[in-house]
């Protein structure tokens, strides 16, 4: 007598999008939300401990302290998203701003401000291209390459000009420094002001955000930061894109340098020494992945504001200013930890009833079972544990 085995076909399930994370987990997965919460918490502590401290003058102080570092941080963000790290940005900013001022003074003190700014931006872009060519030609890590070029840039600058400070910048830059976007009564000073260059900083933020999220080249930057080899196999010109990214980072460093010179009214080769930690920490705290492939302009802005807020709030809270670097260092470690935690939140997926393995059919192995998506399940997956692919 012959017996036949009837296989019961499992009804096909329509392909659906992965289930959305719960609202709280989605909130925690966005690191910039945590940074915003920390900013609000610090503000609350300062307001409670020092009544009357937080007012328009304090807000303008934080914004003024953030302007230069914000533009530097945008350049660092671009290189980080592309999977590298640039530590030469301060040297590029100091070099390009000093040389631009020197060229303007040697040529004509009446040079328009926009010309001086363009010279600084162009010099910074060229130095950024040099950084990229060193990385590509020598096949070394971006950290080592930019450490070396930073030493070269500063060495050349000090060898040529020494410690000479340009104490009188071109007249056009002095006029820009006097042009205020907003004036308001101050509690400490009679009038508190916000310089018009804040508009240039905002324009840089918008431009970088548009480049990263609104252009094909910008989206390709995320691709090479996530996996450069896969991006190259997909047809992306990795080396050309890296040159573009470093050029933009150099241009932003030149912009930050000339903004600093304009606001300070002097060009000092040693202006930016020791500020690398603040800028890089702000970018990482804002959610840019140190491994590349992730980062937002919004997060960078919040990170820079947080670092500036800490520097302006320690003294009113009775904390000696010498602790500032230690606090920023701790925040940098916290930022890296948050990246690890948020990555886990993103990758963890709840198991649904529909994800259970199909019933085992007589005459087949468990290893032959397949998930609803058509992918082979491991032995562990056959017991109801979802496999990450």
Average pLDDT over residues 181-208: 84
pLDDT class for 13, splitting at 50, 70, 90? very low
Q: What was the pLDDT predicted at 222?
A: 94
242-278 exposure pattern, b = at least 16 Cβ within 10 A, e = fewer = bbbbbbbbbbbbbbbbbbbbbbeeebbbebbeeebeb
- Token readout for 79 is 């290189």
For the chain, the average pLDDT equals 80
* Backbone dihedral region for residue 189 (phi beyond 0: left; psi -120 to 50: alpha; all else: beta): beta
Residue for token pair 């019961």? 8
Q: Mark residue 162 as left, alpha or beta (left: phi above 0; alpha: psi -120 to 50; beta: remaining).
A: left
Task: Cite the beta strand spans of 20-90 per DSSP E.
Answer: none
> Counting runs of H as helices and runs of E as strands, what totals does the chain give?
15, 2
Whole-angstrom CA distances from 13 to 107, 235, 354 are: 74, 34, 9
- In tens, the pLDDT along 272-322 reads 888 888 899 899 988 888 888 889 999 999 999 988 888 888 777 777 777
Using DSSP, state whether 369 is helix, strand or coil.
Answer: coil
Work out the pLDDT band at 84, boundaries 50, 70, 90: very high
Share of the chain above pLDDT 70, in %: 77
Predicted local distance difference test score (pLDDT) of residue 145: 95
Q: Is residue 131 within 8 Å of residue 252, measured between CB atoms?
A: no
DSSP at 376: B
pLDDT single digits (tens) 128-156 = 999 999 999 999 999 999 999 999 999 99
CB atoms within 10 A of CB 145: 26
Residues 230-247: tens digit of each pLDDT: 999 989 999 999 999 999
Residues 6 or more apart whose Cβ sits within 8 Å of residue 145: 131, 134, 135, 138
**Averaged pLDDT for residues 176-186:** 82
Q: How high is the pLDDT of residue 21? A: 52
At residue 70, the pLDDT reads: 96
Q: Where are the domains of the chain?
A: 31-347
Distance CA 73, CA 161 (A): 27
- Tell which wins on pLDDT, 1 or 175: 175
SS3 320: coil
Confidence band of 342 (pLDDT split at 50, 70, 90): low
3-state helix, strand, coil in the chain (%, to 5): 65, 5, 30
What's residue 189's pLDDT?
61
β-strand partners of 182: 194
More confident residue, 225 or 342: 225
Pairing of strands 191-195, 180-185: antiparallel
Residue 358 has pLDDT above 50, yes or no: no
CATH class (in words) of the domain with range 31-347: mainly alpha
3-state class (DSSP) for residue 365: coil
Higher-confidence position of 386 and 147: 147
Structure tokens at 234: 């997909």
Sign for the pseudo-dihedral over CA of 20, 22, 27, 29: negative
Handedness of CA 341, 347, 352, 355 (dihedral sign): negative
């Amino acid at each position: 007598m012959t017996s036949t085995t009837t296989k019961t076909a499992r009804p096909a399930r329509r392909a659906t999008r992965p289930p959305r994370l719960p609202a709280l987990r989605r909130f925690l997965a966005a690191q910039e939300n945590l940074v915003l919460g920390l900013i609000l918490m610090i503000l609350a502590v300062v307001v409670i401990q020092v009544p009357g401290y937080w007012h328009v003058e304090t807000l303008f102080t934080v914004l003024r302290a953030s302007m230069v570092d914000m533009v530097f941080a945008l350049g660092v963000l671009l290189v980080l998203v592309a999977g590298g790290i640039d530590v030469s940005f301060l040297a590029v900013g100091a070099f390009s701003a000093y040389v631009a001022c020197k060229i303007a003074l040697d040529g004509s003190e009446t040079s328009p401000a926009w010309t001086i700014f363009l010279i600084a931006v162009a010099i910074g872009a060229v130095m950024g291209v040099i950084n990229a060519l060193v990385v590509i030609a020598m096949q070394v890590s971006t950290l080592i390459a930019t450490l070396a070029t930073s030493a070269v840039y500063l060495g050349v600058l000090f060898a040529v000009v020494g410690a000479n400070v340009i104490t009188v910048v071109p007249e056009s830059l002095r006029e820009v420094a006097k042009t205020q976007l907003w004036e308001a009564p101050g509690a400490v000073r009679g009038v508190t002001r916000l310089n018009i260059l804040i508009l240039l900083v905002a324009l840089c933020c918008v431009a970088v955000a548009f480049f990263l999220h609104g252009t094909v080249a910008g989206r390709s930057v995320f691709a090479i930061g996530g996996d450069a080899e896969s991006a190259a196999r997909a047809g992306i010109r990795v080396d050309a894109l890296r040159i573009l990214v470093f050029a933009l980072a150099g241009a932003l460093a030149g912009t930050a340098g000339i903004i600093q010179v304009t606001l300070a009214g002097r060009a000092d080769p040693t202006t930016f020494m020791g500020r690398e930690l603040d800028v890089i920490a702000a970018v990482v705290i804002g959610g840019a992945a140190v491994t590349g492939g992730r980062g937002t302009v919004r997060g960078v802005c919040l990170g820079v504001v947080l670092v500036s807020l800490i520097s302006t709030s320690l003294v009113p809270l009775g904390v000696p200013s010498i602790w500032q670097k230690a606090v920023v260092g701790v925040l940098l470690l916290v930022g890296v930890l948050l990246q690890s935690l948020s990555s886990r939140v993103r990758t963890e997926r709840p198991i649904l009833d529909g994800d259970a393995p199909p019933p085992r059919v007589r005459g087949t192995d468990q290893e032959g079972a397949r998930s609803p998506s058509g992918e082979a399940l491991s032995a562990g997956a056959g017991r109801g544990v979802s496999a990450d692919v």
